[in-house]
Structure 1
Amino acid sequence: MNSLKRVAFYTLGCKLNFSETSTIARSFKDEGFQRVDFSEEADIYVINTCSVTENADKRFKTIVKQAQKVNEDAFVIAVGCYAQLKPEELADVEGVDLVLGATEKFKITQYLNDLVKNEQAQIHSCEIEEADFYVGSYSFGDRTRAFLKVQDGCDYKCTYCTIPLARGISRSDKLENVLENASKISAKGIKEIVLTGVNIGDYGKGEFGNKKHEHTFLDLVKALDEVEGIERLRISSIEPNLLKNETIDFVAQSNSFVPHFHIPLQSGSNDVLKAMRRRYMRELYVDRVEQIKEVMPNACIGVDVIVGFPGETEEHFLETYNFLNELDISYLHVFTYSERDNTPAASMTGVVPLKVRKKRSKMLRGLSAKKRRSFYESQLGKVHTVLFEGENKEGFIHGFTGNYVKVKTPWNPGLVNSLHEIELTSIDEDGIVRFKYCEPAAVV
């Protein structure tokens, strides 16, 4: 391999996937490859797949076609969750040359020989039980925020989820490694780090199935808060049963952690939560939200919710809708349930018709828009610090406050990756917030 070889990457799915794509990209750079945008001509196209929803599966074929349009002779590689779960299916997609499973993806350059396209794609995929070691990852250079992976895999047995099948058991990075990676990111001038993983509240479990927690999630949070040079730390998604009062209280008074939590709920009906084998009831969720709002009244709280799970009656759905409507939350991520192979839910009775699933999803998305608007309105007149993003979107630059209010102002490249103190003033027609600078409007 030589420096003339170009490689491009496309990531489907979650922040964790983005952090791993970035790490895989650095391994190519170390081997002398030149990274180019996915829309450009490349010798190798790497697609990091997701299999949380059926839609992500379908998108894979579309992305392969995009790559082939640019260079029909390019070597196409599939990695990620879908590649682990259904390697043969991906290998059968026209144009795909190599499929790598959960452990193999981090050794990707070792599988590249002559880059000659074969009639049948090669598959290198382990049994998921073999994914018992930890590979640290983090992203930078792709955006103004960095995604820092601290944990992988999951020991939970939610009946709808394929993640344990795709990523293996819960395991964590060593605390000193996380802190070292955080320092590296900070040294690059990145102002915000987002902690990612499959089940980050379970942080502390070691490699090889060691269930003993050397450190807790609270230990991690406290240690990261002491790292020099990090302006902002954000917790991505954390299970309600693992988000402890001590963590909430610490975030409320910390140096770097922002008042923003994303907490999966999945259903507001205890009957459905039991069928999903979630590890809490709705009463615990209420307690988490109330605790956050008590110590951080302006905190942003995002919620994952699944509609159309088998057995979800109209009464169950309305229970969820009303529960969320009354809860002091800020926005929803709504997922329409789709059957996944090898999950208990796929064979459950009480299948909800697709038309009904879509109707319920639309209702909750409408509720999310209402919740977000209400949260934004509650922040008008308040002073926040905004971090500006790096993209020119129709003549505007966007940014996010610590509590995840999206703001905009006319494009100014000098604002990219800078922090400013602002007062939120009004909400535009597109739902994004306008502001005025607080004096002095100095870059932090």
Structure 2
Amino acid sequence: MSQGIDRFFLLSYCLACCWPGFASRASELRIVRQWPQLDFVFPSEMAMGIAMERRHYVPGNSVPIDVDVHHRQGALKSRIFITIPRFDEGRPVTLGTVDEQGRVSAYPDYSWHENQGSNCNGLTSVFRVAVDECNRMWVMDTGKIGDTQYCPPKLLAFDLATDNLIYQHVVNASSYVQNSLFITPVVDVRRRGRDCADTYVYVADVSGFGLLVVDVARDRSWRVTHRLFFPFPSRGTFTIDGESFDLMDGVLGLALSPHRQGGDRFLYFHALASTTENVVRTSVIRNSSFLHDSNADPQSIHVFPDERPIQAAAEAMDRNGIMYFGLMEPPSIWCWNSATEYTPRNFHQIAMNRETLQFASGVKVVNNLKGEQELWILTSSFQRVMTGSLNANRVNFRIHAEKIERLLENSPCKNPPKDQSHGYHANRITQNHGPKLTTYRYGAVSFL
């Protein structure tokens, strides 16, 4: 881990316990930042006054959703990015960096944010971002504040060496619907040496129940629809720390398998209101035939037969094919090695804490300057946001981090059974025949 972030860490030991019936190991995550409510840095007192007068800034209204990190060379400190979607009024900044005191500064600067939807050249509302291996940060702007579509959705990329905008793709009206809300981007760099031109970005449409595919090199995009992008009505009620709320969100969590030279990649995904995990070969969704017909072949996208015990939000996968995700109840972080069957007996606990690990809405695997992998997680009292019971007298939002090697020490996720070290379990339920796949039987289960 870079010295900059190492200095930032405030050590916090999570409560360690095992979930009955699950093979698990308790470990620690460190709390890097925490807030009762967010505090912002404005360009001037006048700018803050104007924002408050126009209700662009309402103290206590801002809710962080995602985190990502940019480790920098030399004397430059590493940067922590957070996103603050504009669910409604009062969010002065929708994407920012966090300083050592926890204050949020607008990224790339305040002029991108003060428009509040009145100028579509700025940022309207951002749920999640993705920093890739080519030193670029990809930002998906929904164009919405609340339910109002002020601007068309757009995907932007910033060069993190200069903080300059280097790419922008405005989504064509044919690729989204009235309810669309593009919230989770993952980046598929098909790198040749130092050449990063061949890049695809996959974005979850949580309310429009679809997937946006952006072909960056050709500056085009298309929409993919499938029944597995929809929520499950029976899974639309969430209970966290004794408080319940209903939210019928579709596809939200996305994770990419590691790139293997000459091989395909898997995109894992799930709806928020679900307990299932799904998978598709990226060669299927990269097929440009979706430019003319967004409906995926029903047999080209697959669902694992077993399920999680409860809902999960964000997820991410490391270079060794190990997935990380949070579970709602009890609030906890888990891992699954994708070489093993997707089933609760292969889910292993990393940490559990009823107070600090509620609703893991941001989960990222970050490479530091030493080539080590780090797990970064943003958690929040999201249930209190939904029920209107948020209390500024308690800590509501936290950023956690730790080196993955330390988290997985002696974990079964790191050392799967030898008879299952064949690669990806998804290989057993998908066939590599391009976009038109046939039903494949695994044991007694057929996958459609």
Query: Does the TM-score normalized on the shorter chain lie above 0.5?
Result: no
Superposition TM-score, scaled by structure 2 size: 0.29
Question: Larger Cα Rg: Structure 1 or Structure 2?
Answer: 1
Higher RCO (C-alpha 8 Å, min separation 6) = 2
Higher strand content, 1 or 2: 2
TM-score normalised to structure 1 length: 0.30
